[in-house]
Amino acid sequence: MNKKKHIDGYLEVTHKCNQNCAFCSFPPKNDGMSFKELKEKVMRFKEKNVSEIVLTGGEPTINPDLPKLIKLISDQGLPSRLITNGVKLADKCFVKKLIDSGLGRVALSFHTHKKDISEKLSGVPGNFEKYILAMENMTELKLWFDINTTITSLNLPYLPDTVKFIAANFPKTAFISFNFVDAVGNSKNNFAIVPKISSAEYHLTKIFHACKNCGIEFHIERVPLCYMHYFETRSSEAHKFINDEFILISRKEKDFNPVRHKPGAKINGYTKSEPCKICLLNDICAGLPEDYAEMYGTGELYPRFKSIQSVLAQETNRKFVKENQQWQKSQTENTLL
């Protein structure tokens, strides 16, 4: 029997935001969709058999119709996931309202455990404490949350310690999604905030090992596989290529833009260079983001001579080891009981 393909439906709830992040790739706009328009999008997602609706923005929590929208999605028998900066989730009553409406999962942006750097990145003094309170509220109310972290020149050296901070203070956090900063929007006007990938390699490797040592699963987006040694399947793009993933994106101005990651295919917004042609991982690597290549060129790309088969075998072994560790832990817990 063929396994049903997982399709994520991304719905932009608003273009407005309550922060002014130094790295924001989509600076806030004062337009958005009415609840009627959002309802129509949800019903069309249902017709297209999406597996989950991901609520994004802007900052979706500032849309007053968010609880009603989540309930609508839940009433259609679909799960919803909220991507948020977490500021409004510092209000425990608001978090409970979202849970009661049917929200089952949150992806919360947390870019550093260092308050001074956090405030430089968000552009809003005082919000760091709100991020912490948001995570405490979700932990207390048993709302499943993951972490989204944008990698910039400011936070890069401290991210291994940020991973350890998350593991120590919020041990139920099972997943971190890293995104190498987009060189568009606010970042394009703030050149120094975008590190060169080749210069960042040392810190990236430390981040990967920190996640591994803390038992936290992770993916990273916008980093080519020539800088992902031994962690190739933690690349978001490679993961999507390997699983032939398909997503739908719905915006006010552009409806249901399909994005499919088929092995060997070119992804819109990415580019490669001559050395990629002889790279054995070329079919599961997206290359460099075009905005990054426009800023720094493609000279950092180089070929890898590790086969895709060995990458897949490495992933299979990793899953086996993890499952075995989980089994051993469950046996220990049962013995203690």
Tell me: pLDDT of 241 over 60.
Answer: yes
Residue 211 falls inside a structural domain: yes
Flag whether 59 is in a domain. Answer: yes
Is 327 domain-assigned? no
Q: Which domain holds residue 16?
A: 7-306
pLDDT value at position 161?
A: 98
128 inside domain: yes
230 pLDDT above the threshold of 70: yes
User: Which CATH number is 163's domain given?
Assistant: 3.20.20.70
Domain count, the chain: 1
pLDDT at 317 over 70: no
pTM for this one?
0.90
Residue 328 inside a domain? The answer is: no
Pairwise CA distance, residues 285 & 234, whole Å: 12
The whole-angstrom separation of Cα 88 and Cα 71 is 18
Strand blocks (E) in 200-323: 217-221, 246-250, 257-260, 270-271, 288-289
Confidence band of 267 (pLDDT split at 50, 70, 90): confident
Model confidence band, residue 334 (pLDDT cutoffs 50, 70, 90):
very low
Residue 326: inside a domain, yes or no?
no
pLDDT tens string 38-69: 999 999 999 988 999 999 999 999 999 999 99
| H or E element at residue 14 | none
What pLDDT, on a 0 to 100 scale, did the predictor assign at position 336? 47
11 touches 41 (CB < 8 A): yes
| Residues 235, 242: Cα–Cα separation, whole Å | 10
Residue 121 maps to a domain: yes
Q: Is residue 271 part of a domain?
A: yes
Q: Do residues 242 and 284 make contact, with C-beta atoms less than 8 angstroms apart?
A: yes
Cα 162 to chain centroid, rounded: 16
